[in-house]
Amino acid sequence: MQIYNSMTRKKEVFKPIHEGKVGIYACGPTVYNFFHIGNARPFIVFDVLRRYFEYKGYEVTFVQNFTDIDDKMIRRANEEGTTVADIAERYIKEYFVDAKALGVRPATVHPRATEHMAQIIAMIQKLMDNGLAYESRGDVYYRVKAFPSYGCLCGQNLEDLESGARVSVDELKEDPLDFALWKAQKPGEPAWESPWGMGRPGWHIECSAMSTTYLGDTFDIHCGGKDLLFPHHENEIAQTSGATGKPYVNYWMHNGFLNIDNEKMSKSKGNFFTVRDIAKEYDLEAVRMFTLSAHYRSPLNFSREMIAQAQSSLERLYIARDQLNFLLNAASDRQPNEAEQAFMAACVASKEKFEAAMDDDLNTADAISAIFELVREIHRLDATNVSREAVTAGKEAFLGMADVLGLLMKKEDGLDPEVQALVDERAQARKNKDWKRSDELRDQIKAMGYILEDTAAGQKVRKGV
Ligand code: AMP
Ligand code: ZN
């Protein structure tokens, strides 16, 4: 598999540190509010990354943190007259509600910053011991110039960064490039004990401390939105390698932005839709389909038409699944004929195309096209005379691919017994050429929200949308 590594700015063949295993760390949400559909993009694409590694037989450890202490959390708690812990608890719960509806599986571990103070403090201490950090009136700062490879991820050297930096008049820092590892407590803020007095961690250090806690000092893949490249991930490298003396991450993956009118969707600009908002209008699985319709590194423009389009593509996948079940019901145990052998070859070809697309830096757009090629073939099978072996091969290939993308998450629950009884009665009426009764039953079935089609192989019934 090839992965575009943001560090080297090229596609590289993925080689795991431990044979058959992959460790992935994804920067998760700050839990002060519902998340928006821009935030949903990394959650969805890196969930697919994880699923694809599993499909390929890897054992995956997928870690995604919750930032449960920072300025935004404190502001929100003050606005609502409650505690930061209360806000975190509430929005972590809500995260799981939305994630589930988007088909994003829970990570192997969801570490929270406030539950890893010991590891955070130990790492800061190590940086001080290594001469890379200094205390200043209860704050602790990272001494950027003491880490010569600073800028390796964003592709800038210290001089570039220095000339680009605004000269801040901060007498607490030795240098404007230095960043906070620990912040001394301000009145009314939650705080933890540390060797430098009461305070709380800076944002970047939590990801260094938690990723290495669960994945080791050096691990395979670190991902997040591309806005995190600098300074967040750059600082993570400086902190972690500065503390451990080892390389931090082998592959860096960054998703492109979800835009509205070609501008990044973000809470601060106010141009966002929460996943909750969208759920009022659309099936959230359509948001997943929409997100995966583009390559994860490309920008993706949000519009209602695009979501509606994704919804109808998704609908075509559900229809194909229903068709496969319909075919299976009608199938016989005979050997596949020539046309069906060609169909089975098409199943293999579409799976190969799917895997080639996914192996090429997770090209979900092409992977979806491969699935639709198979959908066209499925509809060519003759329901009046079909071999079970061929349909089964089709179903396996089709569902296997959909599952990697986390699509078709609605269960195949068959027809309600009540509807099934009407369908059976109608089959009998048709046999008896009682067309009047047959039409009455059809109207009744439709009125219950089902779509009914009479085909040469019998009645085809599915839930309408
Ligand atoms: P935040 O809660 O803002 O730290 O964001 C959580 C994740 O969403 C991070 O990986 C961000 O890079 C990512 N993200 C935020 N806004 C967007 C956007 N408009 N498009 C894609 N990813 C985003
Ligand atoms: Zn992070």
Nearest-5° Cα angle at 131, 127 to 135: 75
Closest C-alpha to ligand 1, atom 17: 38
Q: Classify residue 222: in a domain, yes or no.
A: yes
In the chain, count H helices and then E strands: 15, 15
Q: Classify residue 263: in a domain, yes or no.
A: no
Q: Classify residue 297: in a domain, yes or no.
A: no
426 and 327 co-located in one domain: no
| Centroid of chain to Cα 320 | 25
pLDDT (tens, 9 = 90+) of the chain, 465 residues, equals 999 999 999 999 999 999 999 999 999 999 999 999 999 999 999 999 999 999 999 999 999 999 999 999 999 999 999 999 999 999 999 999 999 999 999 999 999 999 999 999 999 999 999 999 999 999 999 999 999 999 999 999 888 888 777 666 678 999 999 999 999 999 999 999 999 999 999 999 999 999 999 999 999 999 999 999 999 999 999 999 999 999 999 999 999 999 998 899 998 899 999 999 999 999 999 999 999 999 999 999 999 999 999 999 999 999 999 999 999 989 999 999 999 999 999 999 999 999 999 999 999 999 999 999 999 999 999 999 999 999 999 999 999 999 999 999 998 877 888 999 999 999 999 999 999 999 999 999 999 989 899 998 889 988 875
Q: What is the Cβ-side half-sphere exposure of residue 125, based on CA atoms within 13 angstroms?
A: 9
Boundaries of domain holding 388: 304-404
Distances (CA, A) of 181 to 30, 132, 255, 292, 369: 18, 11, 26, 36, 46
229 and 314 co-located in one domain: no
14 and 108 co-located in one domain: yes
Q: What is the Cβ-side half-sphere exposure of residue 336, based on CA atoms within 13 angstroms?
A: 16
User: Cβ(233)–Cβ(252) under 8 Å?
Assistant: yes
Q: What is the largest CA-CA distance in the chain?
A: 93
Distance (angstroms) between ligand 2 centre and the Cα of 67 equals 8
Q: Residue 56 maps to which CATH number?
A: 3.40.50.620
Record the tokens describing residue 312, joined without a space.
Answer: 């109808």
Q: Cis omega (within 30 of 0) on the bond before 231?
A: yes
Closest C-alpha to ligand 1, atom 1: 29
Q: Classify residue 159: in a domain, yes or no.
A: no
Find the length of the chain.
465
**Which of 30, 39, 47, 263 has most ligand 1 atoms within 8 Å of CB, for mutation?**
39
Q: Classify residue 270: in a domain, yes or no.
A: no
- Tokens 């003050």, residue? 78
Q: Count structural domains, the chain.
A: 3
- Tokens 């939105």, residue? 225
